[in-house]
A and B are shown apart, each in its own frame.
Chain A
Amino acid sequence: DAGITQSPRHKVTETGTPVTLRCHQTENHRYMYWYRQDPGHGLRLIHYSYGVKDTDKGEVSDGYSVSRSKTEDFLLTLESATSSQTSVYFCAISKDRWGQGTQYFGPGTRLTVL
């Protein structure tokens, strides 16, 4: 299994509070991704990174920001959480751009915004 951890695994927070989710990898892969998974929507890309300090937006990036100061860590921040951001968040990594079809996923973080 690819060495990907996510923290926290579960979080309950209140509307308007900031939240940061962490993804940590031990594979030294260049590319990292944040997805959210909601019933009926599959996985949707929030942001991705193609190197340290190099990031770009995905299809559902509004309300989210990311940072990558080290190869192994990719942080996802909800500046002011809203109930619509209640979801399961997955981090993924790949060696090649978009993984040439092979992305390895972390175990996920279940976030509830009350």
Chain B
Amino acid sequence: TQLLEQSPQFLSIQEGENLTVYCNSSSVFSSLQWYRQEPGEGPVLLVTVVTGGEVKKLKRLTFQFGDARKDSSLHITAAQPGDTGLYLCAGADSNTGKLIFGQGTTLQVKP
């Protein structure tokens, strides 16, 4: 069974600080997605990374896919209260394409 381990599970920081969330597995994925979820809503796709070593930027968010396509990171620069939410990574199984989700990282950014 493929597993995606996210760390940390909880993160509480002050506005303006930087942070990194990690998503790790022993399995290779054909692609990896990051979603953001707000309370009472469904997850919303932020980015998809496909190529090993790929880096994508979305304003203050930087996403990186590991060279071996087994891990990924999400870095937020100068966090804002609006970044508060649950961040989920999901890997697409190399054989079936099914999405395997990590447990999620709950981020709280205090003003």
Mark interface residues in A87-114 (1 if CB within 8 Å of B CB, else 0). Answer: 0001010000111111111111000000
A107 to B98, CA, bound (A): 21
Say yes or no: A102 contacts B98, CB within 8 Å.
no
Say yes or no: A43 contacts B92, CB within 8 Å.
no
Interface band, chain B: 20 to 34
Considering only CB atoms, which chain B residue lies closest to A94 in the complex? Answer: B99
A44 to B88, CA, bound (A): 12
A45 within 8 A of B: yes
Say yes or no: B102 contacts A102, CB within 8 Å.
no
Considering only CB atoms, which chain B residue lies closest to A6 in the complex? Answer: B42
> Given contacts A101-B31, A105-B42, A108-B42, are A42 and B92 in contact (CB under 8 A)?
no
Say yes or no: A42 contacts B97, CB within 8 Å.
no
Inter-chain contacts of A108 with B (CB < 8 A): 40-42
A53 to B46, CA, bound (A): 31
B78 within 8 A of A: no
A102 to B90, CA, bound (A): 10
A41 within 8 A of B: yes
B45 within 8 A of A: yes
B43 within 8 A of A: yes
Which 8 residue pairs across A and B have the least CB separation, nearest first?
A: A105-B42, A42-B101, A98-B97, A101-B48, A43-B101, A42-B103, A101-B31, A101-B33
Q: Which residues of A pack against B, CB within 8 Å? A: 4, 40-45, 58-59, 90, 92, 97-108
Q: Which residues of B pack against A, CB within 8 Å? A: 1, 4, 6, 9, 31-33, 40-45, 48, 50, 88, 90, 92, 96-99, 101-104
